[in-house]
Structure 1
Amino acid sequence: MKLILLTLVALPLFSKAFAADDLPANAFPADAFAAIFFSENAFPTNTFAEESTAAANKDTVYQSSYSVLPFVSYTPETSLMFGGLSLHQFKPGDAGPETRSSSFIFSAMYTLNRQLMIEFTPNVIFPQERWILDGRYEFSIFPESYWGVGSETADDDELEIEYSSFDFRQSVLRKLGPDLFAGPKLRWNRVYDISVEEPENNTASDAGNNAVEQTTLAGIGFSVRQDRRNSIATPAQGRYLELTAMFYPDISGATHPHSSWRMDARRYLDLSGDQSQVLAIHFRSQLTTGQLPFREYALLGGREIMRGYYEGRFRDSNSAQIQAEFRRHAWWRIGFAVFAAAGEVWNRFEDFHLNNPKFSAGAGLRFDLNPDDTTNLRIDYGISPHGGGLYITIGEAF
């Protein structure tokens, strides 16, 4: 049933002429949504063919590189984070300028919230981009705040859950056409050594106790991705769409058998024609069914979407979030951005309503660390009715 619902959600994104009269009165106009995200003529931009030709003339021989760098960032979930990372960028085999660079990233981070994260992220793109191998292998010890499940949890319900986790993810994507990839995904996850620290008179204690369960997940899924962004770290043109389905059945040994469906759609409009003024729009949704451990619920908030909400401040079986951001170059290497977002979580579709949607907004500064290949230092502050948060990191939110 959820797969059918996801199809119904995704279908308008590909529709060129979906009548608004066919939608409920409170629904988002699907044809307008599709036009913004997927129309090539929404705003005039340079073609990617022209950019690819220019890149081909410039990048005739790729030089592999290896770097070891210190790293500092700040988010509401981690407080101050510091550590180091090693980055190896390369192109395998006889890959030429038509193939984006591959990378191996190893990082170790510690935060003032006593969180430890060790992560290895391999991304290998084969010649002609025929195959893409995306992976993430992570160990973490992670205390985090938890308010229970549902869209009506109170700020006073906060408690702290600490756990250790191994999380291994690997996808194998095959090129099906220009900028279109599809393939299987595998995941293994283990959460253990869980403890709950509850303040006195905490009304969320039942939800917290229910969350204290060691979990093991082994899942398989499938992903379809279209990526027409001109840049991954600092996109200014193009679009991105990824649809993913994951299944964690009993037969795999999962302690909490369940399924999840995710949609991530992004559109970038170059308003000025020279990438100095960009309007970026982002829609993200997650639908789940089955037995969910607390880390597998659909989460609202974080450093990528609904900034101003602690990631997981609201969580439930399903979520939908949308945000828009205006980015402008100001002077030299400096720019700024303003953003706003809305979202909601819910349990069952028959209980879904928009009586209490969640909103956030904010602004931030950008500093271009590499003018030859724009990569921004991002400093954002987001606010919401449930607090606010400072975000300092590398790369745009989306």
Structure 2
Amino acid sequence: MKKTTLYILLIFFSFTALAQRKDENNLVKIDTISTTKNYQLIAIPIAFYTPETGFGFGGGGQLFFLNKKNTFKNRLSNVLFSGIYTLNKQIMFEITPQIYFGSGNYFIDAHYLLEVYPNLFWGIGNNTSDENEEVYNQTTHALNISFLKRLPPDLNFGFQFIFKNHEVTEIAEGGILDTQNVIGSKRTVVAGLGAVFNYDTRDNTGSPNKGFYYQAKAQFSSELFGATSGFNKFILDLREYQPISSRSLLAFQLYIENNYGDVPFQALASYGGGNRARGYFFGRFLDKQMYVSQIEYRWRFKPRWTINAYGLFGEVAEKPEDFFSINNLKPSFGFGTRYKIFKDKDTWLRFDIGSGIDGNSGIYFGINEAF
């Protein structure tokens, strides 16, 4: 459970799902359970392994609404759902509806999560010691609903409702969560409203080859909505994809998160993970402020194979003015490969290796690009 995260996720599905498909090399088979002129239901097998969970397995499906389509981006309305059980007796259940109205002029994006899951905690700050590591158990119910309006040609603006209930069911006796009055160490409710603005010119979302993605979020958790404490969260996510040749590109991301108020530790900015800071355990460093900057080179040396190399740096801090001390930077670098599951669909298997400082490292196996 220390430093290396092996995350093997085998989840296969077709995003357009207009007919049952089979990879010509017999690597993947998609099972269509039911189809009518209005919808199609596809089965999804799931299997993965991590040091925290042991072997996990489950399944789910994706229901496509064939008559509710975003005609501007050529995307179908769908509901993705999954249930997972691990040999460490952990349970995860998710439902993710994405529904378009008015040919894509309006969009509902929602997510529900039930999670019974142990996690690791090292304390709060940018320089917490490895020796602080402690395990805690937590049960989470989370619901996020966004309603967005398309502002032609590539802008979207909308509002969010956020609700998260974190029940901490077990902590280490004498540990930081037990002795230092950390906000959220017993129970946390995050509840409130938010606003979302994004500009999206990517040619596809799973593995973009060109374009921009700029998103700004403002979220406000308030006791008026039932939250256990009030705080504000602001997120800026800037991504750019610049082709170098017909087979290669450079991808850039700058991610900034700012939190103000009485922020429970579950809602603090979390450094690490398989997307924003590969090479560090997700949540290895927690605090109110965070930035991550990363650059990645991607070379498609065959139509269905890509290799990549990336570098990144970032940090967390209590206040923005504490950033940019050379001794506080948390750099990482790594490389990986991708394989395109379907010839005519942009769904990719991703394998990455990341190496940070002070012995931090990670191995990641999942679906589509990190950003």
TM-score (norm: length of structure 2): 0.83
- Residue 353 of structure 2 is matched in structure 1 by 381
- Residue 362 of structure 1 is matched in structure 2 by 334
For the Cα contact (< 8 Å) 1:99–1:129, is it kept in 2? no
Q: Is residue 158 of structure 2 the alignment partner of residue 183 of structure 1?
A: yes
- Residue 106 of structure 2 is matched in structure 1 by 131
Q: Is residue 285 of structure 2 the alignment partner of residue 314 of structure 1?
A: yes
1:116-265 alignment runs, 5 A limit? 116-197=91-172, 206-207=179-180, 211-265=184-238
For the Cα contact (< 8 Å) 2:113–2:142, is it kept in 1? yes
The residue type equivalent to 1:253 in the other structure is G
Residue 75 to residue 126, structure 1, CA distance change in 2 (3 Å): farther
Q: Deviations over 1:2-48 (max 9, x none)?
A: xxxxxxxxxxxxxxxxxxxxxxxxxxxxxxxxxxxxxxxxxxxxxxx
Q: Deviations over 1:137-195 (max 9, x none)?
A: 11001111110100010111100111001000000000122110101100111111431
3-state DSSP of counterpart to 1:358: coil
The one of 323, 348, 364 aligned to 1:352: 323
- Residue 260 of structure 2 is matched in structure 1 by 289
Residue 209 to residue 291, structure 1, CA distance change in 2 (3 Å): closer
For the Cα contact (< 8 Å) 1:77–1:311, is it kept in 2? no
3-state DSSP of counterpart to 1:197: coil
Distance 1:138 1:271 in 2: 39
Distance 1:322 1:80 in 2: 32
Q: Is residue 248 of structure 2 the alignment partner of residue 272 of structure 1?
A: no
Residue 177 to residue 212, structure 1, CA distance change in 2 (3 Å): same
Q: Select the structure that is richer in helix.
A: 1
The residue type equivalent to 2:343 in the other structure is P
Q: Select the structure that is richer in strand.
A: 2
Distance 2:224 2:277 in 1: 36
3-state DSSP of counterpart to 2:331: strand
3-state DSSP of counterpart to 2:224: helix
Q: Deviations over 1:194-223 (max 9, x none)?
A: 31136x8x6786458654221122110101
For the Cα contact (< 8 Å) 1:76–1:310, is it kept in 2? no
Residue 330 to residue 114, structure 1, CA distance change in 2 (3 Å): farther
Distance 2:307 2:250 in 1: 12
Distance 1:323 1:122 in 2: 30
Compute the displacement of 1:112 (Å).
Answer: 4.9
3-state DSSP of counterpart to 2:151: strand
1:1-40 alignment runs, 5 A limit? none
Question: Would you say how many aligned residue pairs link Structure 1 and Structure 2?
Answer: 333
Q: Deviations over 1:287-338 (max 9, x none)?
A: 0011111110011011111101001100100100011111112335222111
- Residue 302 of structure 2 is matched in structure 1 by 331
The residue type equivalent to 1:182 in the other structure is F
For the Cα contact (< 8 Å) 2:72–2:104, is it kept in 1? no
The one of 295, 300, 308 aligned to 2:271: 300
Residue 203 to residue 142, structure 1, CA distance change in 2 (3 Å): closer
TM-score (norm: length of structure 1): 0.78
Distance 1:145 1:139 in 2: 18
Distance 1:253 1:87 in 2: 33
1:24-103 alignment runs, 5 A limit? 64-74=39-49, 80-93=55-68, 96=71, 99-103=74-78
Distance 1:160 1:368 in 2: 37
Compute the displacement of 1:366 (Å).
Answer: 0.9
Distance 2:133 2:67 in 1: 48
Q: Deviations over 1:117-144 (max 9, x none)?
A: 1000000122432101000011001111
For the Cα contact (< 8 Å) 1:98–1:128, is it kept in 2? no
For the Cα contact (< 8 Å) 1:328–1:335, is it kept in 2? yes
Compute the displacement of 1:352 (Å).
Answer: 3.3
- Residue 7 of structure 2 is matched in structure 1 by none
Compute the displacement of 1:77 (Å).
Answer: 5.9
For the Cα contact (< 8 Å) 1:99–1:127, is it kept in 2? no
Distance 2:307 2:77 in 1: 30
The residue type equivalent to 1:232 in the other structure is T
Identity score, percent: 31
Q: Is residue 344 of structure 2 the alignment partner of residue 372 of structure 1?
A: yes
Distance 1:226 1:208 in 2: 41
Distance 2:348 2:302 in 1: 14
